[in-house]
């Protein structure tokens, strides 16, 4: 029975195996160590993420390596995205520490273990080379996040948000699975690179393939949170505890970018004419509805939710313009601009939610726009950091957000989609209004609450570094730009 069994090469998946083992170990240790502040659990979680980064760095060969019967791929794109993923989750856990200590109902070992399993799901998604691997990673991430959204059992809003997220997430998973099954029916394989090879060979049922593609794009659109599959984002961002909103609004965007690249670019590039049209519609609608709806919000978390929808619409522009009329000359520039954009967005998103967490204290959520009135009088330094983040999200020079937008627009113009570039610029100008409104409240309005902002030294240090990185990488954007371009050049 096991005569033909080949032992897979475990080295490319070493970080995943290490994280899975540590998550199970932390779960057991948390049961044995009696500590109301969960310090041991927190420290072990952070050390696990550092360990994953070290393993990832030391096992990276720079070559494309397949293992587990070609279901798992290790390449430079996955290495780079995973390193940013570990960094993001490390920062998210540090920001969340004070917030969950103030809320005993959430300060459980399960919080950290679920965050690690969510990270494992994202790692699997980033390295997936098989439809089933994509689905396994996606479900591991989704199930962990559903539980985390509902962790504050005392909050009816959180429970409602978790239910909405679960029901709509199940629907999206169904769409994605149905799309995958139809593509399997058309090509006879579930392996992503093999799908690409079969399509190049021809003789595939085009009608079944296009139907499968529609369902696949719909499922991906839900996970990215783009219009018209965005219904869950504002409710989940608003209803989830702010520390969980921070996690949902940052790290999964890296994994979502990776599976869009794996499925559409690695597997279905021959169908680019079909999926590009769909992505253009999703992108324009997301930028329009995201920016216009954000203006009407008085809750900052809902405003940032609609902002996330518009940013994901912008990110899709780069993927849309990679192949023009069958010509892939612009592919590297377009895809690397999208990758740079998603990394820049994650950096800005962590900083913005970090400041919201910094201002939240026991029994109080600093999530309304009015809570930011007069922040400059309470803490000029953190008002300055929030100002940099808002300017960066609005695309004001010279912050990382400006260069992220500029690189995507450059790719769109190079591909000849001038009208798309004009639409994107117009909606960015509309979006600037609600970001600048936050700045106006911080600097020109009288504070509602004069209480000084208190936080641990580690939180203050990390938010400062995060905010300054938004500014510094705006002055030297070529550091990440060239990393993205090199990683994609060696991976595609």
pLDDT tens-digit series, residues 335-346: 999 999 999 999
Q: Is 66 helix (H, G, I), strand (E, B) or coil?
A: strand
295 or 34, higher pLDDT: 295
With a cut of 60, say whether residue 234 has pLDDT above it. Answer: yes
Q: How confident is the model at residue 366 (pLDDT cuts 50, 70, 90)?
A: confident
Average pLDDT of span 17-25: 96
pTM score, two decimals? 0.95
With a cut of 60, say whether residue 2 has pLDDT above it. Answer: no
Average pLDDT of span 251-262: 93
What is the end-to-end Cα distance of the chain in Å, rounded? Answer: 37
With a cut of 70, say whether residue 303 has pLDDT above it. Answer: yes
The tokens of 394 are what? 């609005």
Q: Is 67 helix (H, G, I), strand (E, B) or coil?
A: strand
Q: How confident is the model at residue 294 (pLDDT cuts 50, 70, 90)?
A: very high
**DSSP, res 73:** E
With a cut of 90, say whether residue 45 has pLDDT above it. Answer: yes
Q: How confident is the model at residue 117 (pLDDT cuts 50, 70, 90)?
A: very high
CB-side neighbour CA atoms (13 Å) of 351: 30
Q: How far apart are CA 317 and CA 322, in angstroms?
A: 9
With a cut of 90, say whether residue 364 has pLDDT above it. Answer: no
Q: How far apart are CA 369 and CA 430, in angstroms?
A: 18
Cβ neighbours of 37 (radius 10 Å): 11
Cα–Cα nearest to 407, from 472, 311, 318? 318
Per-residue CA distances from 483 to 77, 149, 367, 487 (Å): 9, 34, 35, 6
Greatest pairwise CA separation for the chain in angstroms: 76
With a cut of 70, say whether residue 327 has pLDDT above it. Answer: no
Q: Which residues of 298-311 are buried (b: 16+ CB within 10 A; e: fewer)?
A: ebbbbbbbbbbbbb
Average pLDDT of span 89-110: 90
Per-residue CA distances from 48 to 28, 94, 122, 346 (Å): 15, 13, 15, 21
Q: How far apart are CA 452 and CA 449, in angstroms?
A: 9
In this prediction, residue 8 carries a pLDDT of: 82
**Per-chain mean pLDDT for the chain:** 90
Q: Which residue ranges make up each domain of the chain?
A: 11-489
Average pLDDT of span 58-68: 89
In this prediction, residue 229 carries a pLDDT of: 86
User: In this predicted structure, which of 107-111, 143-147, 360-364 has the lowest mean pLDDT?
Assistant: 360-364
Cβ neighbours of 327 (radius 10 Å): 9
Per-residue CA distances from 288 to 138, 172, 236, 313, 317 (Å): 28, 22, 21, 9, 14
Q: How far apart are CA 489 and CA 75, in angstroms?
A: 10
In this prediction, residue 105 carries a pLDDT of: 87
In this prediction, residue 362 carries a pLDDT of: 62
The tokens of 275 are what? 């999926």
In this prediction, residue 282 carries a pLDDT of: 94
Cβ neighbours of 460 (radius 10 Å): 16
User: Do you know the residue count of the chain?
Assistant: 492
In this prediction, residue 326 carries a pLDDT of: 64
Q: Which residues of 213-223 are buried (b: 16+ CB within 10 A; e: fewer)?
A: bbbbbbbbbbb
With a cut of 60, say whether residue 86 has pLDDT above it. Answer: yes
In this prediction, residue 322 carries a pLDDT of: 78
With a cut of 80, say whether residue 388 has pLDDT above it. Answer: yes
With a cut of 70, say whether residue 325 has pLDDT above it. Answer: no
Cα–Cα nearest to 269, from 166, 198, 165, 361? 198
Q: How far apart are CA 425 and CA 428, in angstroms?
A: 5
Q: How confident is the model at residue 49 (pLDDT cuts 50, 70, 90)?
A: very high
Average pLDDT of span 425-437: 93
The tokens of 363 are what? 């029994």
Per-residue CA distances from 355 to 115, 229, 237, 304, 396 (Å): 20, 28, 15, 13, 20
Q: How far apart are CA 421 and CA 241, in angstroms?
A: 36
The packing angle between helices 457-475 and 76-101, to 10°, is: 140
Q: How far apart are CA 467 and CA 448, in angstroms?
A: 25
CA angle 320, 323, 324 (to 5 degrees): 100
Place of tokens 């791929």: 73
* Element housing 65 (H / E): strand 65-67
Span 162-213, pLDDT tens digits: 999 999 999 999 999 999 999 999 998 999 999 988 888 877 888 899 999 9
CB-side neighbour CA atoms (13 Å) of 145: 35
Q: Which residues of 344-379 are buried (b: 16+ CB within 10 A; e: fewer)?
A: bbbbbbbbbbbbbbbbbbeeebbbbbebbbbbbebb
Say what percent of the chain tops pLDDT 90.
66
With a cut of 80, say whether residue 450 has pLDDT above it. Answer: no
With a cut of 90, say whether residue 421 has pLDDT above it. Answer: yes
Under 8 Å between Cβ of 309 and 233? yes
Cα–Cα nearest to 302, from 349, 367, 254? 367
């Amino acid at each position: 029975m096991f005569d033909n069994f080949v032992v897979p090469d475990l080295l490319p998946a070493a970080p995943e195996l290490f994280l899975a083992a540590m998550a199970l170990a932390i779960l057991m240790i948390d049961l044995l160590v009696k500590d109301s502040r969960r310090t041991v659990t927190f420290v072990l979680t952070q050390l696990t993420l550092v360990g994953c980064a070290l393993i990832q760095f030391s096992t990276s060969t720079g070559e494309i390596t397949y293992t587990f019967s070609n279901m798992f791929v290790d390449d430079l794109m996955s290495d780079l995205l995973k390193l940013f993923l570990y960094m993001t989750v490390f920062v998210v856990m540090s920001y969340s520490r004070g917030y969950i200590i103030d809320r005993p109902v959430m300060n459980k070992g399960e919080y950290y273990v679920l965050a690690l399993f969510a990270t494992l799901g994202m790692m699997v998604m980033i390295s997936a080379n098989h439809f089933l691997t994509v689905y396994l990673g996606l479900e591991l991430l989704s199930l962990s996040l559903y539980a985390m959204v509902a962790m504050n059992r005392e909050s009816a809003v959180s429970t409602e948000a978790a239910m909405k997220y679960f029901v709509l997430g199940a629907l999206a998973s169904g769409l994605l699975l149905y799309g995958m099954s139809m593509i399997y029916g058309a090509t006879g394989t579930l392996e992503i690179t093999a799908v690409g090879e079969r399509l190049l060979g021809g003789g595939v049922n085009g009608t079944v393939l296009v139907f499968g593609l529609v369902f696949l794009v719909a499922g991906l659109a839900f996970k990215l949170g783009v219009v018209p599959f965005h219904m869950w984002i504002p409710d989940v961002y608003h209803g989830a505890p702010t520390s969980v909103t921070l996690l949902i609004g940052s790290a999964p965007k890296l994994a979502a970018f990776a599976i869009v690249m794996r499925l559409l670019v690695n597997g279905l590039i021959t169908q680019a004419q079909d999926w590009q049209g769909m992505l253009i519609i999703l992108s324009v609608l997301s930028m329009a509805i995201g920016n216009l709806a954000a203006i009407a919000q008085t809750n900052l978390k809902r405003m940032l939710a609609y902002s996330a929808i518009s940013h994901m619409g912008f990110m899709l522009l780069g993927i849309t313009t990679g192949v023009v009329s069958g010509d892939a000359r612009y592919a590297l520039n377009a895809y690397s601009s999208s990758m740079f954009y998603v990394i820049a967005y994650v950096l800005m998103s962590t900083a913005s939610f970090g400041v919201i967490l910094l201002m939240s204290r026991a029994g109080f959520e600093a999530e309304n726009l009015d809570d930011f009135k007069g922040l400059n009088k309470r803490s000029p330094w953190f008002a300055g950091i929030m100002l940099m983040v808002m300017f960066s999200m609005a695309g004001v020079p010279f912050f990382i957000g400006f260069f992220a937008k500029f690189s995507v627009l450059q790719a769109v113009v190079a591909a000849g989609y001038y009208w798309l570039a004009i639409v994107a610029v117009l909606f960015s100008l509309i979006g600037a209004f609600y970001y600048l409104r936050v700045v106006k409240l911080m600097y020109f309005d009288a504070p509602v609450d004069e209480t000084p902002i208190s936080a641990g030294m580690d939180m203050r240090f990390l938010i400062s570094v995060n905010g300054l990185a938004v500014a510094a990488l705006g002055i030297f954007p070529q550091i990440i730009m060239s990393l993205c371009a090199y990683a994609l050049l060696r991976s595609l």
